[in-house]
Amino acid sequence: METFIVKDGEENNRIDRYLSEKSDNHSRVAIQRLIEEEKILVNGKKTKSSYKIQKDDKITIEKEEPKISKLEAQNIPIEIIYEDSDIIVVNKPKGMVVHPANGNLSGTLVNSLMAICKDSLSGIGGEIRPGIVHRLDKDTSGILIVAKNDKSHINLSNQIKNHETEKTYIAVVRGIVKEQEATINMPIGRSTKDRKKMAVSKNGKEAITHFKVIRKISKSQLYFT
């Protein structure tokens, strides 16, 4: 269950818009459907999508059960960086989806992990996300820490929630970056123009990024294969 308390300055927004910006797991259309199904409550009572939220309102979203009935373990090679009885750390390649979703039920990291770990994956993520504590986009390669039991899952989730973990990315940026290093501190939420994307939003979650330029290259140094 997700719970949100409306803060000062957030009031008088439509509840469907507010929640779609606050929640990482639901689009505005999904929020409206959950409101109709009475799975979203305000101060313990059912509501409407047009409701204008008020300061100190307590909003709860009931957790939806996974709709995918069965996943198959697949022998998909994956680089294992570290493994013990609590966690497994893997290097996810570019082009691989982390967990199954409707229309994409195979070839994911979860399918691979099920073959490697058998029944040793945390069940907290639900049937379609066993062991998954954090994610990377399909086209982003990098290290993922996967929980092999519920205790480690909770521990890792709390570390991420409390900003006790540090994530480092290497990216190619188009354009000219004037600063050699700097900090970006702007809240991120669902884009109001494209619900599949994230954007800077005054009602978004805190997002702090420290960046440092490693190397600058000219157009003449770029090449394509």
H helix or E strand, kind and range, residue 46: strand 45-46
One-letter amino acid for residue 110 of the chain: V
Task: Name the active-site residue from 137, 139, 150, 194.
Answer: 137
Q: Measuring CA to CA, how many Å separate 37 from each of 22, 32, 33, 153, 190?
A: 20, 9, 6, 30, 23
Q: Measuring CA to CA, how many Å separate 141 from each of 81, 133, 211, 221, 223?
A: 14, 16, 18, 23, 21
Q: For the packed helices 15-22 and 28-36, what is the interaxial angle rounded to 10 degrees?
A: 120
User: Would residue 56 show up in a list of annotated catalytic residues for this protein?
Assistant: no
One-letter amino acid for residue 103 of the chain: G
Catalytic positions, written as ranges: 137
